[in-house]
Amino acid sequence: MTKGFFKGEVPRHILIISAIAGLITLVGFLLFYPVPSPPVSKMEHARKTLSNARKEGADTYSTTLFTEAIEYYDSAMTNWRSENMRFIYSRDYNKVSFYAGLSSDKAELAAEDSKNTLSELETRLKQKIGALNVLITEINELFTSYPLAYEVRNRISKGKMLLKESEIAFNNRQYLQADRKMTDAETLLTTSFENASSNLKSYFKSYPEWRKWINQTIAESRQDSGYSIIIDKFSRKCVIYFNGIKKYQYNAELGRNWVGDKRVSGDKATPEGMYKIIRKFKSDSTKYYKALLLDYPNNEDTAKFISDIAKGILPVSAKIGGMIEIHGNGGKGVDWTEGCIALTDREMDTVFKIIEIGTPVTIVGSMYNLQHVLNR
């Protein structure tokens, strides 16, 4: 085929020129047509606000707001990425801008909230540490020598340890950890204190009755010009009166669960009441060196025991127990008997010699009232 122009045909050079012109126009369009611009400064602001919030501890002390701020920032980034995948001239960064704004707002709120929370927490923890240390001092003063239940004593020890751990966390500015430990310590210490206090108050509730028994026992000794024995459980004393006058006083050891009246056989409690010596055991008849047997249970003990069973306080199968004695083998420094009163063998020699069958033995919770005991 020969080169040439046919009728109606556009010359080739015109076509080429047109194509080049088209391309130049396209390139010009690409170069100069405004491209949608992303909210770079807004995103930067959001990022810096988040970073500042983290520095203020918002990731720990204002978790909800901070998490929301992070989620909004992530949404902004996700939208930004997604818009960047689209054709450059059809991108729309409005959502990116919207989420970036929300993220900044939330991060600012989180930073402020964290600052406030931290400040409040610091003040509150400081106050609580002080208050709990005061409570510990009070517990130590009141109950160090009081025979608290093993469980209560354990809870107090645990509470003290947790308070110490809380103080260490507080000093390291680990306030949340300090708060958690403080809450546990507070629960342990306050419940133990309430328990011990109510125990002590309830223990001394019977004091007026004990006082009557004591007066009656001393009066009886005076009247008969004879001996009578008073056992003070709280101060662990065995006091011997003659002719109404205190003649001997010994340290006594009691049943492991000496607080409160004896209720049932095997409860290791020392009974409270007015008793008499009904039998004397020499060394060859007791394993506790020498012993003076009391008339426990007396009529009152039996009546109370029956009533407790009737009320369902004690099971029907319960037994009242017996063989409560004043005996030797004491001096161990702890309450170890099954409910008896233990003296040292040397003291027992004296007591055994002077005390006759029929001698009154009154066992009371305390010879002194609660106020006197607390002020000792």
Partner 1 sequence: MKNKVLLGLAAVAMVAFLASCGKAPQAQIDATNAAIEAAKAAEANVYLPAEFAQVQDSLNAVLANIEAKKSKLFKNFSDEKVKLDSTLALANQVAANVGAKKDEVKKEAETLLTDIKAVIEQNTKLFPKLPKGKEGAAVIEQIKSELATVDNSVVEAQGLFDKGAFMDALNKIKAAKEKADGLNTEIKDALTKARIKF
Q: How far apart are CA 271 and CA 261, in angstroms?
A: 5
Which one, 169 or 351, has the nearer CB to partner 1?
169
Q: Which among 109-117, 137-145, 223-231, 340-348 is the span making contact with partner 1, rule CB under 8 A?
A: 137-145
Q: Which of 2, 10, 334, 371 is close enough to bind partner 1 by CB under 8 A?
A: 334
Q: Does 35 bind partner 1 (CB under 8 A)?
A: yes
Which one, 37 or 317, has the nearer CB to partner 1?
37
Q: Does 215 bind partner 1 (CB under 8 A)?
A: no
- For partner 1 (CB under 8 A), the number of binding residues is 59
Q: Which of residues 244-283 bind partner 1 (CB under 8 A)?
A: 251
Q: How far is the CB of 286 from partner 1 (least distance, A)?
A: 24
Residues 6+ apart with CB under 8 A from 211: none
Q: Which of 106, 128, 160, 262 is close enough to bind partner 1 by CB under 8 A?
A: 160
Q: Does 128 bind partner 1 (CB under 8 A)?
A: no
Which one, 160 or 304, has the nearer CB to partner 1?
160
Q: Which of 10, 31, 245, 316 is close enough to bind partner 1 by CB under 8 A?
A: 31
Which one, 238 or 363, has the nearer CB to partner 1?
238
Q: Which of 71, 75, 77, 265 is close enough to bind partner 1 by CB under 8 A?
A: 77
Q: Which of residues 175-214 bind partner 1 (CB under 8 A)?
A: 177
Q: Which of 25, 63, 154, 215 is close enough to bind partner 1 by CB under 8 A?
A: 154
Q: What is the number of other CB atoms lying within 10 angstroms of the CB of residue 18? A: 11
Which one, 19 or 357, has the nearer CB to partner 1?
19
Site track 287-326 with partner 1 (rule: CB under 8 A), x = hit: ----------------------------------------
Q: Which of 3, 13, 311, 353 is close enough to bind partner 1 by CB under 8 A?
A: 13
* Nearest of 242, 274, 220 to residue 353 by alpha carbon: 242
Q: How far is CA 42 from CA 31, 45, 233, in A?
A: 26, 5, 78
Which one, 4 or 333, has the nearer CB to partner 1?
333
Residues at the site binding partner 1, with contacts judged by CB under 8 A: 13, 16, 19-20, 23-24, 26-27, 30-31, 35-38, 40, 43-44, 47, 50-51, 54-55, 77, 80-81, 83-84, 88, 91, 93, 143-148, 150, 153-154, 156-158, 160-161, 164-165, 167-169, 172, 174, 177, 235-236, 251, 332-335
